[in-house]
Structure formats: structure tokens, C-alpha cells
């Protein structure tokens, strides 16, 4: 269940074609305080505790997708992020894993629990992406999958007898793995992010960052940021969705200095200075995954899980999903799908990607 702010279905979004750039959805502004001087303790602040209790009871869904060439450590990184074997690791050398001929979409769900809070985590893997000789349009199956999840949610929403809690299979976050070439982005990276950044929250990460020295890392990040900007690619957190000044300053710092996060993943532990740490042991030293002097894994983890998890879900629901919904309604002549005639079947999911996703 997503804890979004109660939104009003904006009429504007229903009647006009979705222009570029997208109009901000009608999220109500923070209420202006009329009289903030209460005469005594009322107890409204306990709402936070009530919300917390509810979340703990119901738990929540989080769906994360990983995209990138094979061998960039995607599964290992997700396992490291959530400190459990949530991603089926195809990296074991003993198994005869053949690179699939087309991009496959594999979603695996796990329930993990921490501090009484249950999370149903789904990791969506995309083996085969970028591995062929000809990778033209290899992002299409991915885009199709994402739209299919929006469609599923839409169908549930327009039902007359709706479920109390619509199962949310929409992709909340897409980690895109950039190969640490040290030069710049590859043409495929640009193409993917151009097409998908309007449909899903993309968080670019630099994979296997233990091959770059500090200087190389910072130069590479600068170049990547510039290339993304020049090509008009808005990765998460998108500038246009900063709600207030506080968000903006916090996000600006992340956007302009930290991202893309240069990460290293590992599921092996080693002894360093008397402590057991996750890392990689080489003849010239041990790389500690959670050591900020070594790599930015901890920053990525804090960003995705500890500070922006809820926001990722909100942006997916309030913005990406709304854009999809508006487009579908437009296609259906302004009527909500299924309305008009009782028992009308929804028009089929468009096979081609939405034009707004260009």
C-alpha cells in the first residue's frame, strides 16, 4: 500500500494530451498554518506513531529492477544492499549459464523483516540486456514490462469492487549499471536512459568501481553527469519533482556531487582490524564495501533504503503511473477504461511504447 498524499485526479490531466514537459500533478500544497498556537497538548502528533504501527502490521511492497550488461555485479549488489540472498546469483562459475538471446525479465520476490517491519521485496533482473552483438531496441522488453505493471494496477483501480489493498507490482526503482570504462557512457547507456527515464525512476550506478583510482572516479563521474545533462536525461531524484527548498538543496547535493554512485558489492566477509567486514580480498589489499574511503556503497544504500525509499514509491505512483494513466484515458476517448458499457473489456495494453516515454 503506498502511503501517498491524498491526490485529486486532476481534470487537466484528463482532458489534454500529455505535453512535454509533464505538468506537475495536482498534489495539494502543504496546508498554510492558520493558527499554530494550540492552548494545550492535543495529541495530533501521535498520528506518526499510528501510521508507524499500521505500516508494521501491513508491511509494504518494494520493487527494484536492475539493468546492465552481464557480469557487472548486479545480483551481488542487490544482495549486499538488502543483506540477504534476494537475487539469484548467476555468477557462479560452475554453472553453465548461457547468455540469453533476447532480454528476459525475471522477477523474484522475498519477504524480509527488520525491527518488526515486513517488506515484500521483488528484484527484477534483466539478463541478456546489452550482451548481444546487435543490441538495437533491447530496452523494449523492459519498457513493455514496466508498462504492463502500470496496466495491471490501472485495471485494479477501475474495478467496481476494488481490493482494499491493490498489490503493487510497479517498478519503483531501476538501478542502471554503468561499466567502469573510465572514458564516458556507452551509446547503449544513453539510449536506454533516454527511453526509460520518463517511465521509471532510474538511478545510475557505476559498477565494479574498484578498478578506478580516486582521480579516475571523480573525472568519470563528472563526465557522466555532463553527458546525461547534455542529453536531457533526468535520473532520480528528478529536478522537476523537488517539492520544496529543503528537498531541493538536499537533492541538489546528491545530484551534483554524489551521483552516479560508484559502488562495489560483495557477499564475502573478511577480517579487517578485528572486525568482520564485507569486502573483496586482493593481493594488494582488502576492499571494504561499507568503507566510504573505498567506495560509495554506503551512500547508495542510505539513499535508496534509509532516506528515499518512500519517495521512490511516491514518485512512481504520483508521477509515472499518473502519466501512464492519463495517456491510457486519452487513448480511450477521455473515459476511464471500462466505463460506459457495463463489463467492457479494457483495450489491450499498447504493444508499442507510449509516445510520452520518448
Partner 1 sequence: MDKEYVGFSALPSQLHRKSVKKGFDFTLMVAGESGLGKSTLINSLFLTNLYEDRQVPEASARLTRTLTIERRSVEIEEGGIKVKLTLVDTPGFGDAVDCSDCWLPVVRFIEEQFEQYLRDESGLNRKNIQDSRVHCCLYFISPFGRGLRPLDVAFLRAMHEKVNIIPVIGKADALMPKETQALKQKIRDQLKEEEINIYQFPECDSDEDEEFKRQDAEMKERIPFAVVGSSEVVRDGGTSRPVRGRCYSWGTVEVENPHHCDFLNLRRMLVQTHLQDLKEVTHDLLYEGYRARCLQSLARPGARDRTSRSKLSRQSATEIPLPMLPLAETEKLIREKDEELRRMQEMLEKMQAQMQQSQAPGEQSDSL
- Mark the segment that binds partner 1 (CB under 8 A) among 78-86, 111-119, 207-215, 334-342: 207-215
Using CB under 8 A, pick the residue from 230, 341, 345, 351 that binds partner 1: 230
For residue 4, give every residue at least 6 positions away whose Cβ sits within 8 Å of its Cβ, in sequence order, or none: 313, 314, 317, 318
41 contributes a contact to partner 1 by CB under 8 A: no
Cβ proximity to partner 1, 97 vs 104, nearer residue? 97
A 10 A CB-CB count for 105 gives 17
188 contributes a contact to partner 1 by CB under 8 A: yes
172 contributes a contact to partner 1 by CB under 8 A: no
Cβ proximity to partner 1, 125 vs 168, nearer residue? 125
Cβ proximity to partner 1, 91 vs 117, nearer residue? 91
Strands 275-282 and 285-288: antiparallel
Q: Binding string to partner 1 for residues 257 to 296, with x set by CB under 8 A, is what? A: -----------------------xxxxxxxxx----xx--
Give the span between the Cα atoms of 80 and 74, in whole angstroms. Answer: 10
Residue 294: all three cell numbers together: 573505498
For residue 134, give every residue at least 6 positions away whose Cβ sits within 8 Å of its Cβ, in sequence order, or none: none
174 contributes a contact to partner 1 by CB under 8 A: no
Cβ proximity to partner 1, 179 vs 197, nearer residue? 179
Cβ proximity to partner 1, 153 vs 297, nearer residue? 297
- Mark the segment that binds partner 1 (CB under 8 A) among 81-89, 104-112, 203-211, 320-328: 203-211
Q: Hey, CA dihedral for 206, 211, 217, 219, is it positive or negative? A: negative
218 contributes a contact to partner 1 by CB under 8 A: no
Give the span between the Cα atoms of 49 and 53, in whole angstroms. Answer: 6
Q: Hey, CA dihedral for 16, 21, 25, 27, is it positive or negative? A: negative
Q: Binding string to partner 1 for residues 45 to 84, with x set by CB under 8 A, is what? A: ------------------------xxxx------------
326 contributes a contact to partner 1 by CB under 8 A: no
Nearest of 171, 177, 170 to residue 192 by alpha carbon: 177
Q: Which of residues 125-144 bind partner 1 (CB under 8 A)?
A: 131-136
Using CB under 8 A, pick the residue from 146, 174, 207, 326 that binds partner 1: 207
198 contributes a contact to partner 1 by CB under 8 A: no
Give the span between the Cα atoms of 109 and 115, in whole angstroms. Answer: 20
Q: Cα dist. 116→46, 193, 231, 265, 337 in Å?
A: 19, 37, 44, 27, 39
CB of 98 to partner 1, least distance (A): 10
Using CB under 8 A, pick the residue from 10, 169, 184, 332 that binds partner 1: 184
Q: Which of residues 92-131 bind partner 1 (CB under 8 A)?
A: 93, 97, 99, 131
Nearest of 260, 269, 274 to residue 288 by alpha carbon: 269
Using CB under 8 A, pick the residue from 33, 35, 50, 213 that binds partner 1: 213
Residue 275, classed as helix, strand or coil, is: strand
Cβ proximity to partner 1, 73 vs 338, nearer residue? 73
Determine the size of the site formed for partner 1 (CB under 8 A).
Answer: 48
Nearest of 145, 156, 235 to residue 190 by alpha carbon: 235
Give the span between the Cα atoms of 120 and 323, in whole angstroms. Answer: 25
Give the span between the Cα atoms of 198 and 12, in whole angstroms. Answer: 19
Cβ proximity to partner 1, 227 vs 243, nearer residue? 227
Cβ proximity to partner 1, 70 vs 169, nearer residue? 70
Give the span between the Cα atoms of 280 and 272, in whole angstroms. Answer: 11
CB 333 within 8 A of CB 110: no
Residue ranges in contact with partner 1 by CB under 8 A = 69-72, 91, 93, 97, 99, 131-136, 179-191, 207-208, 210-211, 213-214, 223, 227, 230-231, 280-288, 293-294
Amino acid at each position: 500500500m503506498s502511503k501517498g498524499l491524498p491526490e485529486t485526479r486532476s481534470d487537466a490531466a484528463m482532458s489534454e494530451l500529455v505535453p512535454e514537459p509533464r505538468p506537475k500533478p495536482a498534489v495539494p500544497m502543504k496546508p498554510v498554518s492558520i493558527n499554530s498556537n494550540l492552548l494545550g497538548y492535543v495529541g495530533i502528533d501521535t498520528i506518526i506513531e499510528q501510521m508507524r504501527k499500521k505500516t508494521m502490521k501491513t508491511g509494504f511492497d518494494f520493487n527494484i529492477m536492475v539493468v546492465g550488461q552481464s557480469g557487472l555485479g548486479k545480483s551481488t549488489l542487490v544482495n549486499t544492499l538488502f543483506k540477504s540472498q534476494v537475487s539469484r546469483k548467476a555468477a557462479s562459475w560452475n554453472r553453465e549459464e548461457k547468455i540469453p538471446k533476447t532480454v528476459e525479465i525475471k522477477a523474484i520476490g522475498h519477504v524480509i523483516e527488520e525491527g518488526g517491519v515486513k517488506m515484500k521485496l521483488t528484484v527484477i533482473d534483466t539478463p541478456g540486456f546489452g550482451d548481444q552483438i546487435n543490441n538495437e531496441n533491447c530496452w523494449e522488453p523492459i519498457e513493455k514490462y514496466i508498462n504492463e505493471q502500470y496496466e495491471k494496477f490501472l485495471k485494479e483501480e477501475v474495478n467496481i469492487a476494488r481490493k482494499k489493498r491493490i498489490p503493487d507490482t510497479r517498478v519503483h526503482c531501476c538501478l542502471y549499471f554503468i561499466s567502469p570504462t573510465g572514458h564516458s557512457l556507452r551509446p547503449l547507456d544513453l539510449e536506454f536512459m533516454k527511453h526509460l527515464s520518463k517511465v521509471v525512476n532510474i538511478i545510475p550506478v557505476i559498477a565494479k568501481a574498484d578498478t578506478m583510482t580516486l582521480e579516475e572516479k571523480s573525472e568519470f563521474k563528472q563526465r557522466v553527469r555532463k553527458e546525461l545533462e547534455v542529453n536531457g536525461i533526468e535520473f532520480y531524484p528528478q529536478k522537476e519533482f523537488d517539492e520544496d527548498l529543503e528537498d531541493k538543496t538536499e537533492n541538489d547535493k546528491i545530484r551534483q556531487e554524489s551521483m552516479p554512485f560508484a559502488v562495489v558489492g560483495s557477499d564475502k566477509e573478511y577480517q579487517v582490524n578485528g572486525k568482520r567486514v564485507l569486502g573483496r580480498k586482493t593481493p594488494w589489499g582488502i576492499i571494504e564495501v561499507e568503507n566510504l574511503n573505498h567506495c560509495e556503497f554506503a551512500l547508495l544504500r542510505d539513499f535508496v533504503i534509509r532516506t528515499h525509499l518512500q519517495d521512490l514509491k511516491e514518485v512512481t505512483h504520483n508521477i509515472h503511473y499518473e502519466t501512464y494513466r492519463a495517456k491510457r484515458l486519452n487513448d480511450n476517448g477521455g473515459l476511464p477504461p471500462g466505463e460506459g458499457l457495463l463489463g467492457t473489456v479494457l483495450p489491450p495494453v499498447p504493444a508499442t511504447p507510449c509516445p510520452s516515454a520518448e
